[in-house]
Structures are given as structure tokens and as C-alpha cells.
Structure 1
């Protein structure tokens, strides 16, 4: 698609029959061992453009846009539940389609996880542990936040405003502040994002009715046991031990204001044999700030990490 720089891919759509035919957009590039890229909020598959370009000659790169995000359909809250369990169900149905009708193998999947992609991907992995062969973890979590409800003071008030007030709804829906802020320094990136790239990140969220998913992702952040998605997230975290012997790459932008060192240290506690790649000059959108080093590192990791049983 020429309007999105660096994104020369064929768009594909899958219609979810159990979701009244809502169409989910995804990329499916290359052939070989499947690599499943899962984005978070407020990004979309555009985040993965560089690794997909670098890997599609050797691997089958699959990058869905979650419902309401990117180029997927954007239903109102009356047509879609907008919670973690729904996201995992969607991924389950899409991957099953790719296996049964799209020629993808049942096993040998690599998960590449960023932001909400961590909870979604690892909750899916908990359902299908035998399918997962490798993990690439990029500024994400798959467990309750180590700080619990005591998020960093810098984030406490903005998060409360965004989640719980009418002002937050206006900032999300009318002004698109959350998505815009993610493209600014120092909130989402440490390097200035080129104007055309910034426009591409924001393009799917061009009017208020297209920003519902961004708002609902924030509403769905599970900070305490009474939150709706807490059980799903807690179960994903409890299942991480099942994947401790897999090849794992952890790469981290140390300038991330949300996924901070406390979250990184929790990953290190869960996977003590993994030495993370740390990027001091990178923020939350790690692949925008550190792609020159990180994309080759991911390629090398995939080339040199044997699949279990291979």
C-alpha cells in the first residue's frame, strides 16, 4: 500500500463468522516457519514492517491487526466486547484458519510480542503450548504488573483520567491524544518520528468512531483482581513456566514510561537464563528507535535457534 511508507504488502482479510462477519486484516508474507507478530495499543501491523521485510525471504510472517485496530473493521462497543478474552478468541480462530485452510503448520510458531501483544499472545500460547517454538519479547508483559495498582506516579493521574473520566473519553475519541502521544518524544519514541511514518501510524484512527478500540484497550488494563481481564492475564502469567526451556529473545527500550524496569525484571525472573538486549536510546516503540540493531538481531535469533524436535 503506497500510502504507508515501507509497507509494500498484500492486505488480507479474514471474516469472523462468530463476530457477525467482522473482518480482521492481516499480513501473510513469505514461506517457511511461521512467525506471528502481535501488536498492541495504539499501533497496528505497520509496526512490524521492517522485520517482515527482513524475514519474509526465509520465514512466513503473519501480522494481524486486532479488531478495531489498523485496517481491520472498527465496530462500535455494541458489536464487539473489546476485552482480552475476545482478542485471544480472535487469534485462536484466525490461526486455526491459517492451519486448516492456509497451509500453516500446527507446530513451530514463533511469537513476536509488543505491548498488548504479550497478554494476547501468551494467553493464546497457554491454550496451544505445543504450537509455540520461540518467543521474541519487546516491551510487553504477560502477567499482572509487578507494581500492581501502584503504577508509577508519573502515570497514575493520566491513567486515572483516561480510564475513568469524561475528559478521558474526549481526549481519546475527539482528539486522538493517546495515539498521537505514542508517536511523540519522549512518550513513545526517543528519536523524532518522520512525518510520513507518524501519519501512517495514525491513519487508521482518522475519526472518533475509529478510535473506540484505543479507548477500550486502556479501559481493559487489568490492574486488580476485580478487573474483567484479570483472570485471563493471571492465567497467562502462571503458564509462562511451561515455555522456560524455549529459545527466548528479550529486547527492551529503557525509555519506555509504561513497560519500565520493573516489568523487564519480572521477565528476567521468569526466564533467568535469558540475557536481554537493552536499548538506552529507545522508547516504547522500540522498533522505531532501534531497528538498525534490533531487526538483524531478530533475524539472527530465528536463524540460530533450533525448533524443538528439529
Structure 2
């Protein structure tokens, strides 16, 4: 799989020793202080192409594809747990590999997080708070749903169908509806996505057996204490205050139907000193709709000395 627009990067590979050698693809571009980009569902490291191209002359940009996503191996559910705890363990193993064998520093990491990258990245950060220097948050969360146990009324029926029914399984696996929908207006973007870019976002999920992770991410969303990943998410949410002294940039596409103003408000309540940049004409894939403004904003934020 090659030739994606604006993605001229060499694939790197990490074989997870505790995952029966499952291979995780990651990008490792440039030199300098490390910037870790974590995507969510149903995207992959292609999401980060523009900031990596803009930052790799000054920073070491690292962007993994989660197992089952992007160009990483796509095991069946019998070979991989597909839950939040496993994702955090995978990230921990990859970063330890980069520190011990890849010349990456132990400290000074910037985390750039989108969608599920928030729970994964912030749970890892809570394990290693001393390693984290800065945070960039893009339409994500790392705490229980501020709407409570119920999703928003307009999303309740489609969410239940996708997550809990056989029809949902067919829509995920046979028709790839979730990934396709994320590239459409107004579900994932507010500006029409070019056909070649849309094809690149969908390319890793070209057949049903390659779409398992997309479905499992949705099924793993913890909404209540009985859900399997609730203890991890709840624990992370209660530990976030320790990052109040870190420089933080919150950039938000206000057209996101899931990560809405309530989620944004929860971040702002917890971190009132964070810099906030709002984009009224952007949806969930914020970097697709607002990259012309957002990428320079991120670069400026990373260049600014702490406390300035």
C-alpha cells in the first residue's frame, strides 16, 4: 500500500513481543524533541501527514498506527483483545522500544491527541507523567462522557444499531459504513474531502477482515461502570489534574457531532489555563477542514518556551 497523497514517509515496524509478534507500523520523522501523534477511530497515521511535514525539520515526529488500524497488522479478535488497556500497553511497549533502542529521550515528550488517541495517550501519560512536556488536544476526551451514560439523543439510535446489533456488524464489516461516513459531509468533515484523500483514509480497510478494529473501538466505548474499559477511563479522568502545569493547546472543530461543546467544556473546566483555538467551519477531522490555520498554530505552540 503506497502512493498516498502527501504521505512520503518510510514505514517503521515494531513487533510486539507480548502480542505474538504482531507488527505495528509507525512513522519516525525528523530529529529534536519528540512529538507523539496518536490517531483515533477510524483514521490512521495518514491523519497526521500535514503537521509531520511541517514539523519534522525541528522535531522528531512519531505517529503509530494502532494494531488493527492503518498499515499495522490486522489480527482477528481471537489474537488481540481490542480494548483500551491493550492499546495503552502497546503504546507503552513502543515508546520503551524507542527510548531503549531508538535513541528517543525519556523526557520532553509532546502528545498530540485526536479521538481515541486521547484516552490512550492520557492513560499512558498518567503512567509516566514525568515524560510529558506538552499536550495538544484535538476533538478528543480522556474522561467519562460529560453527557452521562446516555449518548446524545440524535446519536442514540445509530449508536445502538452500530454497537449492539447484527445489522451494525454488517454495516461495519461488510459495508465499512463507519469509516466511509467519517469522510463525508457533515459527519466527519465540513469541507468536501478530495477523492484521493478519501481513498487514502479508507485504503487500509479494504475488506471485512481488515475492519475488525473499527467495530471493536466503537464497542469498547465505556459509558457506564459495568463496561470493560470503564475502570481505565475513569481512573485516567480522576488523574488528569496532575498535568495542569503543562503547556496545553486545545484546538476544536465545533461541527463534531460526537466530541461536542460539552466535551470541549469539560477540558476547559479542568484546564482553564490552556490555550484554546475554536474552528466553526470544521468537523471531527479537524486537520482536514482547518489545516491551513491549525498546523501553523501547533508549530507556534511547540516553539514557544514553557511559561512564555
Q: Bin the TM-score by the shorter chain.
A: over 0.9
2:262 alignment partner in structure 1: 262
Matching of residue 169 in structure 1 with residue 164 in structure 2: no
Moved over 2 A (4+): 305-308
What's the offset of the Cα at 1:275?
A: 3.7
Partners of 2:154 and 2:200 in 1: how far apart? 28
Q: Within 5 A, what are the aligned runs for 1:86-97?
A: 86-97=86-97
User: Contact 1:108–1:307 at 8 Å: present in 2 too?
Assistant: no
Mapped to 2, the partners of 1:274 and 1:107 lie a distance apart of 21
Unaligned residue ranges in structure 1 (runs of 5+): none
CA distance in 2 between partners of 1:168 and 1:65 (Å): 24
Matching residue of 1:185: 185
Length, aligned pairs only: 308
In terms of mean alpha carbon deviation, does 113-122 or 149-158 score higher? 149-158
How is 1:122-137 mapped onto 2 (pairs within 5 angstroms)?
A: 122-137=122-137
**Which residue in 2 is equivalent to 1:198?**
198
2:301 and 2:244 map into 1 onto residues whose CA distance is 16
Corresponding residue for residue 75 of structure 1? 75
* Equivalent pair of 1:38/1:112 in contact (CA under 8 Å): yes
Structure 2: gaps spanning 5 or more residues: none
Contact 1:4 1:197 in 2 (8 A): yes
1:50 maps to: 50
> What displacement does 1:274 show?
1.9
Q: 1:149-201: CA deviations, max 9, x gaps?
A: 22211110011001100000000000000000000000000000000000000
Partner SS state of residue 283, structure 1? coil
- 2:304 aligned residue: 304
Report the TM-score when normalising by structure 2.
0.99
Distance 1:20 1:303 in 2: 40
> For the structure 1 residues 259 and 10, does the alpha-carbon distance in structure 2 shift closer, same or farther, using more than 3 Å as the test?
same
CA–CA separation in structure 1 for the residues paired with 2:10 and 2:162: 35
Partners of 2:307 and 2:131 in 1: how far apart? 11
Which residue does 1:282 correspond to in 2? 282
SS at match of 2:35: strand
Q: What is the TM-score of this pair, normalised by structure 1?
A: 0.98
CA contact (8 A) 1:139 1:284 kept: yes
Query: How far apart, CA to CA, are the structure 1 residues paired with 2:288 and 2:148?
Result: 29
What is the rounded CA distance, in whole Å, between the counterparts of 2:97 and 2:274 in structure 1? 33
Match of 1:146 in 2: 146
1:293 aligns with 2:293: yes
User: Is the CA contact 1:134–1:307 (under 8 Å) kept in the aligned structure 2?
Assistant: no
CA-to-aligned-CA distance 1:220-254 (integer Å, 9 cap, x gap)? 00000000000100111111100001000000000
**1:102 pairs with 2:102:** yes
Q: Given that residues 259 and 284 in structure 2 are in contact (C-alpha distance below 8 angstroms), is that contact kept between their aligned partners in structure 1? A: yes
The answer as to whether partners of 1:133 and 1:307 remain within 8 angstroms in 2 is no
3-state secondary structure, aligned to 1:5: coil
Higher deviation after alignment, 143-152 or 49-58: 143-152
1:307 shift after superposition: 8.8
On the 8 A contact 2:248/2:275 being kept in 1, the answer is: no
State whether residues 136 and 249 of structure 1, in contact with CA within 8 Å, keep that contact through their aligned partners in structure 2.
Answer: yes
Give the Cα–Cα distance (whole angstroms) in 2 for the partners of residues 24 and 2 of structure 1.
17
Q: 1:291 offset after TM fit, Å? A: 0.1
CA distance in 2: counterparts of 1:151 and 1:173, whole angstroms:
23
